[in-house]
Every structure is written in C-alpha cells, then in structure tokens.
Amino acid sequence: MSRTLTVRISAVVVLAVGAWVAYTQQPDVPLAIQKIKDDLYVIAVSKGVGGGNVAVYVTGDGVILVDDMFDRNYGEILAKVKSVTDQPVRYVLNTHQHDDHAGGNARMMASAEVIAHRNVRANMIRLNQPGAPRVTFTDEMAVFLGGKEVRARHYFRGHTGGDAIIYFPALKVIHTGDLFLTYPPMPFIDYANGGSALEWNRNLDEVLKTDFDVAIPGHGPLSDRAGLLKFRDNFETMRNRVASIVRAGQGKDQVTKALVGEFGWPPNGLAIQQVDAFIAEMKPAN
C-alpha cells in the first residue's frame, strides 16, 4: 500500500472505529447450538445480530472451537458445548480479532490454547484488547486432536488484515469468519485493522478452490458453495460500482446513495460508516 493511500485511509477510519464500538454494545440474545455434520456443531444467536458464529468440533481428546463471541458469552458458550459433550475445550481458532469473535479469548486461555494469524495478535496488542493469542501463524497451520484435523489459512487482506479461513477437511465444511455473511448481508471493511475492498474477493476466490459443501458464515444461517459464490459476485458488483463513481469524480454523497439505494446498506448502519475510507482505497494511488 502506498504512503499516500495509507495516509488517506488513516485519516478516515475514526467513524468506522466508533461505529464498531457501538455495534459491540448490542444487547445479548439467546444462543442456540445446531448440529452440522457428525461431531461438528455451530453455536449462533437465535435471532437478530449478536456475536459471531462459533464452530464446535468434538473429538475424543477435547473440543476445538472456531471463535468465541464476546466475553459476556463465555458461560453460555461453555454450557452449549457441555450439552453435546463432556470433553473440555482444548483449542480456539480465531478468524479475526473483533470482540464479537475473539472477545472470549482471555477467559478461554485459562484452560485452552488460542491460535490466530499473527496480524490478529498485533491488532489486539495495539488496541490493548485482552486475550491476544500466544500461538500465531503466517500463512497456514493445522491442529490435530483426537484423530481429527482442522486447518487454518490466511490468504489476503479483506474484512481485516488477519482473516483466517478454517477448514474441516474430513467433513468438507469451512468457517469463513466475516469474509462471508448471510446476515447482515453487507460487508464491514475494517480499514483501521488492515481491511481491504480491493483484496477481499481474492480470499473468496481461493476459498472456492477448496473442496467444501457447507459454509459457516461469520454471522447468519449456514450456507453452501452457491451462497458464497453469490456473496462474492455481489461484493464485486458493489465494489466496481463504487470504483466507477469515484473514477467519474463524484463524491461521498453519490457513493452513499448508491450503497443505500442499490445495495441495501442501512443508511445509519455500521457498514456505511466506512464510506470515506472505501472511497480513499478506490482512488488511484499518486
């Protein structure tokens, strides 16, 4: 990223950060656990918006979680795990560092190992966010427990600079974190923590090369390959529309009008708060 673009984006992330803080203060909603395949489950909010989806992989030697929601969800998540197994949680793999996905890290680390991309740790330390993982990776890693395997892979910047795709190869299931959403459908590009609209779909193109038939999104109901492909295409259409507006010399009002009117972004929602940074990234570097 050029120095000029970095300065542009750094100057316009304050509103997005403030909106994220407000988002994380959403009231609690009940959690539900759903079986996906064999020994793999997902814990999710039963309705509305809340913490991100948590994958629960049960093995004979313990449980592997993907993400752990907010700190305040810790007790309820453990209760949901205990409803399907007596095995303890041994590992937590973070898809990224946001509180609604990694907020329970600090408490989980009392008895489990938390693993994430190195940029997740860097972001959490910079933000003084508790629960920074003690184990990190750069490109890919795998956890083997009870004869089962879970893989984590970082491709490119997207939702943040440290996104990881988690793959359960024996079951052909992926957990995408917030690189793919089924509710709410609009993306949040966290420029303050390394996100990028230009690189987002490079992640999804790599994911689509993976052999999977079930996709656990960061938020919302389970999906599949067709659902992820549709999200990818919609993202590209939206990004190209914004780029065309910027290239035409039009400004924030026109971009906002397109995002709200053509792509259904709530006018006062979290995603729309990133418009200034979005425009900055779409401008040609000097």
What digits encode the pLDDT tens for the residues 126-161? 999 999 999 999 999 999 999 999 999 999 999 999
Q: Which range marks the domain in which residue 97 is found?
A: 29-224
Percent of the chain with pLDDT over 70: 89
For the entire predicted model, the pTM comes to 0.91
Whether residue 260 lies inside any domain: the answer is no
Q: What is the pLDDT of residue 19?
A: 45
Rounded Cα gap, residues 45 and 54, in angstroms: 10
**Interacting residues of 37 by C-beta distance below 8 A, sequence separation 6+:** 171, 173, 214
Contact status, residue 281 vs residue 194, Cβ threshold 8 Å: no
Report how many domains make up the chain: 1
Whether residue 243 lies inside any domain: the answer is no
- Cα 189 versus chain centre, distance: 10
**Interacting residues of 230 by C-beta distance below 8 A, sequence separation 6+:** none
Q: Residue 188 has which token pair?
A: 């949040």
What is the bridge-based pairing of β-strands 173-175 and 89-93? unpaired
Contact status, residue 59 vs residue 92, Cβ threshold 8 Å: no
Picking from 14-28, 73-87, 120-134, 196-210, which range would have the lowest pLDDT averaged per residue?
Answer: 14-28
Rounded Cα gap, residues 114 and 140, in angstroms: 15
Q: How confident is the model at residue 185 (pLDDT cuts 50, 70, 90)?
A: confident
**Interacting residues of 49 by C-beta distance below 8 A, sequence separation 6+:** 26, 183, 184, 219
Rounded Cα gap, residues 272 and 131, in angstroms: 29
Q: Is the pLDDT of residue 102 over 80?
A: yes
Whether residue 130 lies inside any domain: the answer is yes
pLDDT in tens, 227-274: 999 999 999 999 999 999 999 999 999 999 999 999 999 998 878 889
Whether residue 36 lies inside any domain: the answer is yes
What is the bridge-based pairing of β-strands 148-153 and 140-145? antiparallel
Q: What is the pLDDT of residue 271?
A: 80
**Interacting residues of 134 by C-beta distance below 8 A, sequence separation 6+:** 109, 113, 114
SS3 per residue for 169-194: CCCCEEECHHHCCCCCCCCCCCHHHC
Whether residue 15 lies inside any domain: the answer is no
Q: What is the pLDDT of residue 270?
A: 77
Q: What is the pLDDT of residue 22?
A: 45
CATH number at residue 154: 3.60.15.10
Whether residue 166 lies inside any domain: the answer is yes
- Inter-CA distances, 237 with 36, 60, 176, 262, 277, Å: 31, 45, 20, 11, 18
Rounded Cα gap, residues 268 and 23, in angstroms: 12
Whether residue 249 lies inside any domain: the answer is no
- Cα 247 versus chain centre, distance: 29
Whether residue 189 lies inside any domain: the answer is yes
If you average pLDDT over residues 27-51, what whole number do you get?
88
Q: What is the mean pLDDT of the chain?
A: 91
Rounded Cα gap, residues 263 and 190, in angstroms: 19
Q: What is the pLDDT of residue 286?
A: 57
Q: Is the pLDDT of residue 275 over 70?
A: yes
Q: What is the pLDDT of residue 8?
A: 45
Picking from 28-32, 50-54, 196-200, 245-249, which range would have the lowest pLDDT averaged per residue?
Answer: 28-32
